[in-house]
Amino acid sequence: MDSYKDSRKELARPYRKAVLKALLVLTIIGAILFSSMNLLKGSYPLAFVEMAMGAYSFIVYRAIRYTPHLERWIIAYLIPFFTAMMFAMATPRATSAVHAWVLLIPIISHLLMGRRLGLAVSVFYMGIAAVIFLFRHLDQPEMMQALPITNIAVISLCILVFSHVYEVTRETSERQLMRIAQTDPLTGLANRARLSDIFERERNRARRYDSPMSVLVLDLDHFKDVNDDHGHETGDVALQHVARIFRECLRATDLAARLGGEEFGILLSNTNSQQALEVADKIRMAVASAPLNINNSVVRLTLSGGVAELGIDGDTLRELVREADLRLYQAKDSGRNQIVPSISSLAATART
């Protein structure tokens, strides 16, 4: 669960929504202005398209206020918007200045669609605009001179490249900041915020496909003694050592997080409580069988834990962590270096 795509999409939504709203308002104003001018000129088809685009922009503006599907509305708006732009360029009565609007395409596309889709849409519509320009002015020598054509092409290419580079840089910085904000700096594991985000996504998936999901809460035994006897630096190395063991024992679809101090939470998707108990025991035995050698001394580590399953022990991360935490303390009280299963695991064991 290393992908931050969903979190970055959520982070990008507010500014994309603000950009789309501004574009819609400008489109409505522009539609009123240009449709009026084209009606006076007798360019009725173009005026009708502009009025229709203005009306559609008003509908989209109202629709995006509370929509959870902003990306769909962006595509549903930009395709007709750019198509109407192409129609305006192809209209015989339109002036040559209308081709200047093509310079907006890469900027708007990248701001609203991101680097991949924005680049694809930009290249597609800018290519169509270039073909329209050539066909419209092929018989006009003054418009087909090498210098003006080269200037237009270079300016268009520069805006396309700058828009794409900006969006690539922005997304890279955003991804790095997201990773920093949702990663424990000492162990490299996810932090509680990341665990909460992924839990919501995986819970929705579990409900949709009627699949199980479990949570483990694990805590190192006598960790205070490690810090007191060997120093806090050794304690930090011990936490990093345990984090490596987690990565070796878990699947790519599982998520290990540091909840605080020496306590860890593990989210196991598509895993019932009995399977989660087996995973927890595998981790427990791996930690116990891999002592830490540091400063010419051997530091033996063990951990205790508790298991909770979605639906049986609770429906929220807070409820599941609380139940698993209670079982963790039962394990501590019972002598440590053990995992206390959930109620469903105990029932399954009793039946067998």
Q: Is the pTM of this model over 0.75?
A: no
Handedness of CA 67, 72, 75, 77 (dihedral sign): negative
Q: Using one digit for the tens of pLDDT, what is the confidence trace for 106-142?
A: 999 999 999 999 999 999 999 999 999 888 877 777 7
Best CA proximity match to 290, nearest among 275, 276, 303: 303
pLDDT at 165: 96
Q: Using one digit for the tens of pLDDT, what is the confidence trace for 145-159?
A: 788 788 888 999 999
Number of other CB atoms surrounding residue 253 within 10 Å: 12
How far, in Å, CA of 1 to CA of 297, rounded?
35
Q: Using one digit for the tens of pLDDT, what is the confidence trace for 247-273?
A: 999 999 999 999 999 999 999 999 999
